[in-house]
């Protein structure tokens, strides 16, 4: 049965007027930036540091606790070991300083939900160290806030690939035992190394037998060949430029002690979790705005041993 239009002016002239009104309204809408992932804006002055628009600062009560990477309007990837139980988190985007002094492009958004990977294990050597943070309010992309691309699950980051690690961790080792985040975002060039070689180096400093792998297939290892880089930013991105597009290769998990050669850092290998990430993001989009559900943290809270 057709819906009655009685009482409305439903003639051809009225229909044309409504079409014109709707079209005019669309023209008046502000344009949405035509942005794609992994295409950052660089400053004109090449002497300045690069701008990494996907860089995120995970904060508790306005204090930086970990880094992260924006992958979608509502989602940030970080490390699972950064999550400190039932805390109120927020994410800062669009700034290269932890204290931006009210810049118009800096965003501070509460975290509405946190998803810890079900196979995360945080004792001894960390495994499946990855978490997804769902923002309460989706961001609007601009040149200061853009997502980094996720790799395809079967993509291979070749040994020797040059990448960049960024964050607010300390760059140099200090005599003080108190570690505080760097006020300005730092960046360092690193290179992917073979997992077997990385595993062999780490075994030299532990009592674990060689048959017990410390660097697993779901991890990726980098070196900066002796540069004085220490105390990386947990959860921060390992970004590699592949065919003109910046790809998230890893999430910073742990590293070899400072002042050792070679300096090694270990990241969660994103390709091993691409499908899981996309499933969570897709499922979250179907549910609508994020709602905090701390039941999702049970695998972390219980710390149950699981197989990889």
Length of the chain counted residue by residue? 308
Relative to beta strand 75-78, strand 162-167 is unpaired
238 Rama sector, left if φ>0, alpha if ψ -120 to 50, beta otherwise: beta
| H/E element, 285 | helix 274-287
Give the model's pLDDT for residue 273: 98
* Residue where the block lists tokens 């073979």: 194
pTM of the model: 0.78
CA–CA separation, 294 and 215 (whole Å): 30
Angle at 214 between CA 179 and CA 133, to 5 degrees: 55
Tokens of 290: 């994020």
CATH 3.40.50.300 is the classification of domain 162-271: no
The domain locations on the chain are: 55-147+274-302, 162-271
pLDDT in tens, the chain (308 residues): 443 333 444 555 666 666 666 555 544 544 444 457 988 876 655 445 567 999 999 999 999 999 999 999 999 999 999 998 888 999 999 998 888 876 778 999 999 999 999 999 876 678 899 999 999 999 999 989 999 999 999 999 999 999 999 998 765 544 444 556 677 888 889 999 999 999 998 888 777 777 788 899 999 999 987 554 565 689 999 999 999 999 999 999 987 665 555 688 999 999 999 999 999 999 876 666 675 444 444 444 444 443 33
Q: Residue 243 belongs to what H/E stretch?
A: none
Burial status of residue 103 (CB atoms within 10 A of its CB: 0-12, 13-18, 19 or more): exposed
Q: Same CATH topology for 55-147+274-302 and 162-271?
A: yes
pLDDT of residue 179: 56
Give one DSSP letter per residue of 4-27, joined into a string.
P-TTS--SHHHHHHHHHHHHHHHH
Nearest to 288 by CA among 74, 52, 29, 6: 74
Q: Which CATH number fits domain 55-147+274-302: 3.40.50.150, 2.40.10.10, 3.10.200.10, 3.30.1330.10?
A: 2.40.10.10
Count of helix runs (H) and strand runs (E) in the chain: 4, 12
Distance of CA 108 to the CA centre of its chain: 15
């Amino acid at each position: 049965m057709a819906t009655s239009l009685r009482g409305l002016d439903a003639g051809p002239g009225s229909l044309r007027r409504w079409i014109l009104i709707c079209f005019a309204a669309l023209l008046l809408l502000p344009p949405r930036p035509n942005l794609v992932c992994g295409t950052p804006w660089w400053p004109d002055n090449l002497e300045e540091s690069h701008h990494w628009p996907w860089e995120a600062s995970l904060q508790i009560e306005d204090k930086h606790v970990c880094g992260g990477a924006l992958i979608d309007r509502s989602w940030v990837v970080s490390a699972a070991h950064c999550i400190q139980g039932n805390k109120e988190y927020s994410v800062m985007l669009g700034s290269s300083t932890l204290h931006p002094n009210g810049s118009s492009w800096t965003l501070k958004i509460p975290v509405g939900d946190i998803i810890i990977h079900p196979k995360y294990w945080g004792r001894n050597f960390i495994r499946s160290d990855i978490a997804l943070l769902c923002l309460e309010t989706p961001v609007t992309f601009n040149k200061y806030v853009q997502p980094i691309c996720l790799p395809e699950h079967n993509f291979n980051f070749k040994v020797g690939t040059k990448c960049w690690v960024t964050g607010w961790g300390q760059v140099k080792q200090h005599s003080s035992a108190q570690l505080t985040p760097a006020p300005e975002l730092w960046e360092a060039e690193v290179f992917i190394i073979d997992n077997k070689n990385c595993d062999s180096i780490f075994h030299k400093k532990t009592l674990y037998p060689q048959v017990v792998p410390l660097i697993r297939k779901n991890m990726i290892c980098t070196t900066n060949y002796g540069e004085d880089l220490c105390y990386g930013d947990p959860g921060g991105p390992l970004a590699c430029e592949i065919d003109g597009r910046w790809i998230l290769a890893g999430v910073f998990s742990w590293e070899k002690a400072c002042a050792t050669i070679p300096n090694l850092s270990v990241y969660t290998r994103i390709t091993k979790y691409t499908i899981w990430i996309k499933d969570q993001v897709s499922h979250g989009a179907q549910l609508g705005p994020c709602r905090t559900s701390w039941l999702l943290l049970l695998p972390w809270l219980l710390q149950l041993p699981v197989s990889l």
